[in-house]
Amino acid sequence: MTPFTPRASYMQLGPLVIANRGRADYAAYRASVQFRLPSDLPAGRYGVIYCNATCTKGLSDLIGGVIFVGIDPRQPDLADVAARRARDRQPR
C-alpha cells in the first residue's frame, strides 16, 4: 500500500529544496518550496505534503504542513484552552 493516494485535485507546487544549515541537531536541514498561487484559487486552508513525482512515496520522516490563502488561521480562545486544561487535570 502506498502512503499517498494521488487525487485529481492535487496540484504540483514545485521542486523541494533541502539546505544544510550547518547545525548538528534536529534542525540541521531546512526543506523549502517556492511557488505561485493560481489567481483563481479559492480562499481557504490547504494541506501541503512532500512526495515523489507520482506522489506514491514520501520523503523519509519529513511531514507536510498547512497554508492559509486569503483567510487568517483560526486563533484559539485562551479562556477555552484554560478551561480544557483545568478539566484535564481533574482526577477521574
pTM, two decimals, is 0.63
Q: So what's the pLDDT on residue 1?
A: 39
Q: So what's the pLDDT on residue 42?
A: 92
What does the block give as the cell for 17? Answer: 529544496
Question: Please, what is the Cα angle at 42 between 34 and 71, to 5 degrees?
Answer: 80
How confident is the model over 27-85, as pLDDT tens digits? 888 888 899 998 999 999 888 888 887 777 887 777 788 889 998 887 766 677 777 78
Cell 536541514 sits on residue: 29
Nearest to 71 by CA among 41, 50, 48, 32: 41
Ranges of H-type helices in the chain: 78-89
The number of helices, as runs of H, and strands, as runs of E, in the chain is 1, 4
